[in-house]
Amino acid sequence: MDKINFKIATPEKVVFKEEVDQITLPTIAGEITILPNHIPLVGVLKPGEIRIINGKEEKHLAVSGGFIEVLADKVVLLADTAERAEELDVERAEAARKRAEEALTQKRVDAKEFARLTAMIEKETVRIRVAKKHRMGIGSKGLGDKKYNQE
Residue range 119-147, pLDDT digits in tens = 877 887 787 777 777 777 654 444 333 33
- The values of phi and psi at residue 21, to 5°, are -90, -35
- Rounded distance between C-alpha atoms, residue 108 and residue 35, angstroms: 46
DSSP state string for the chain: ---EEEEEE-SS-EEEEEEESEEEEEETTEEEEE-TTPPPEEEEE-SEEEEEEETTEEEEEEE--EEEEE-SS-EEEEES-EEEGGG--HHHHHHHHHHHHHHHHHS---HHHHHHHHHHHHHHHHHHHHHHHHHTTGGG--TT-HHHHT-
- Rounded distance between C-alpha atoms, residue 6 and residue 53, angstroms: 11
> From the CB of residue 145, how many other CB atoms can be counted at a distance below 10 Å?
14
Specify whether the CB–CB gap between 121 and 97 falls below 8 A: yes
Supply the pLDDT for residue 25. 95
Tens digit of each residue's pLDDT (9 = 90 or more) over 47-58: 999 999 999 999
Supply the pLDDT for residue 6. 96
Supply the pLDDT for residue 151. 35
Tens digit of each residue's pLDDT (9 = 90 or more) over 74-101: 999 999 889 887 777 777 888 888 888 8
Supply the pLDDT for residue 38. 92
Tens digit of each residue's pLDDT (9 = 90 or more) over 8-49: 999 999 999 999 999 999 999 999 999 999 999 999 999 999
Q: What are the chain's domains?
A: 4-86 (2.60.15.10)
